[in-house]
């Protein structure tokens, strides 16, 4: 990448149902591919993202965080709303190549989509955004809004026509950029994070089965004991090896610190399992939820998940909850002065584990 670059911090949310998880996979729809394709349309170049936490197939995110490095000039062009002259146009030399022509025409379609009334348009307000503004620098709210409009216009193209052209069901609106700005020095979406918070929703016999929530909650036919489930997940709090609840990755540690855990039933009867940790292993949240449900159904005592934790052995007794009830709710970061130190500490822990 030539010249000076800037690191952008992006907040986004997504419905995980139309995707095969966050990570890009050849020939399969992923959230990462959609976001990077949209970035490529806006910045007129390939872009690679780093995410706070990779989510599995069908898992949703209300507030995910990513970073991407782009040339400073390209960022200024997008932030200030300037369009790059079309290569090969009047007075600009030889006719442009077919590939460049296609990219330019697609980018023009994105510009039109971003400015269309009722779409990601000029006066559309950002809603539902939980920003930690103190960790972002180098951009006003107007710049953030303008860049988010551009990216959401590009996502409309990528998730609509482009998906249809590949034979996939269009999923316009399944990914939304909440905000984007120049990151504070030292920021790393993955390694600077202090914690990630997930929620998992369950509808049992008390809540009944609302067909409008079938894509966001696990339906159970019998009533479960919420107090017993709450006791079960609290027994996992602290720094432990969660091998019994993880699908281990080669060379990766399964030691994690579960910082907060609770199970609550709301006024409508819906059960929410809330878990916060410094980081989560692959399948860890869904396995903890599955173990809690076995307790709630009376099949296991409330101390059974803790016994499984101490066993440090994954077996078929630990049920893995379905993916569609799981939501990444929030990623927490330190203030600007603590970003670099946190990233260095996290990298060191991963390297020595």
Task: State pLDDT tens for residues 202-235.
Answer: 999 887 888 988 899 999 999 999 999 999 999 9
Q: What is the mean pLDDT of residues 311-337?
A: 93
Share of residues in the chain with pLDDT > 70 (%): 82
pLDDT of residue 165: 96
d(CA 32, CA 167): 19
- Whole-structure pTM over 0.75, yes or no? yes
pLDDT of residue 260: 98
pLDDT of residue 141: 80
Give Cα separations from 235 to 186, 288, 304 (angstroms): 35, 11, 9
pLDDT of residue 271: 97
d(CA 226, CA 296): 6
Q: Buried (b) or exposed (e) across 315-338, using 16+ Cβ within 10 A? A: eeebbbbebbbbbbbbbebbebeb
Length of the chain: 353
DSSP annotation of 162 reads I
Q: Is 277's pLDDT higher than 50? A: yes
Least confident of 3-7, 65-69, 323-327: 3-7
Is 225 one of the catalytic residues?
no
Beta-carbon neighbour count of residue 172 at 10 Å?
17
- Assign 144 a pLDDT band (cuts: 50, 70, 90): confident
Task: State pLDDT tens for residues 297-317.
Answer: 999 999 999 999 999 988 888
pLDDT of residue 351: 64
Residue 300, classed as helix, strand or coil, is coil
Cite the beta strand spans of the chain per DSSP E. Answer: 5-14, 49-51, 60-71, 175-182, 195-203, 218-219, 238-241, 255-265, 271-277, 326-332
**Dihedral angle of Cα 247, 248, 254, 257, to the nearest 10 degrees:** -30
**Phi and psi at residue 183, to the nearest 5°:** -75, 155
Q: Is 54's pLDDT higher than 50? A: yes
| Options 2, 15, 37, 56, the catalytic residue | 56
């Amino acid at each position: 990448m030539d010249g000076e670059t800037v690191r952008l911090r992006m907040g986004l949310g997504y419905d995980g149902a139309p995707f095969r998880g966050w990570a890009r996979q050849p020939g399969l729809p992923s959230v990462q591919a959609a976001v990077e394709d949209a970035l490529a349309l806006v910045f007129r170049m390939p872009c690679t993202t780093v995410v706070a936490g990779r989510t599995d197939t069908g898992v949703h995110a209300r507030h995910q965080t990513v970073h991407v490095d782009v040339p400073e000039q390209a960022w200024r062009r997008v932030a200030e709303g300037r369009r790059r002259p079309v290569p090969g146009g009047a007075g600009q030399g030889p006719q442009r190549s077919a590939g460049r022509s296609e990219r330019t025409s697609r980018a023009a379609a994105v510009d039109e989509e971003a400015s269309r009334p009722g779409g990601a348009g000029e006066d559309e307000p950002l809603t539902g955004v939980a920003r930690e503004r103190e960790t972002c620098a180098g951009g006003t709210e107007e710049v953030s809004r303008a860049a988010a409009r551009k990216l959401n216009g590009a996502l409309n193209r990528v998730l609509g026509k482009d998906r249809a052209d590949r034979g996939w069901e269009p999923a316009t609106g399944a990914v939304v950029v909440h905000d984007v700005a120049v990151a504070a020095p030292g920021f790393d979406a993955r390694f600077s994070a202090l914690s990630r918070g997930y929620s998992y929703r369950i509808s049992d016999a008390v809540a009944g089965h609302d067909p409008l929530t079938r894509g966001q909650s696990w339906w159970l036919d019998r009533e479960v004991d919420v107090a017993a489930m709450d006791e079960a997940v609290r027994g996992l709090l602290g720094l432990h090896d969660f091998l019994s609840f993880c699908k281990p990755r080669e060379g990766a540690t399964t030691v994690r610190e579960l910082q907060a855990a609770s199970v609550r039933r709301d006024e409508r009867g819906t059960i929410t399992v809330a878990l916060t940790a410094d980081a989560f292993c692959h399948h860890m949240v869904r396995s903890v939820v599955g173990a809690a449900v076995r307790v709630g159904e009376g099949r296991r005592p409330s101390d059974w998940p803790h016994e499984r934790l101490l066993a440090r052995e994954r077996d078929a007794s630990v049920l893995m909850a379905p993916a569609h009830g799981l939501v990444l709710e929030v990623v927490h970061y330190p203030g600007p002065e603590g970003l670099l130190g946190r990233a260095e500490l996290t990298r060191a822990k991963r390297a020595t584990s």
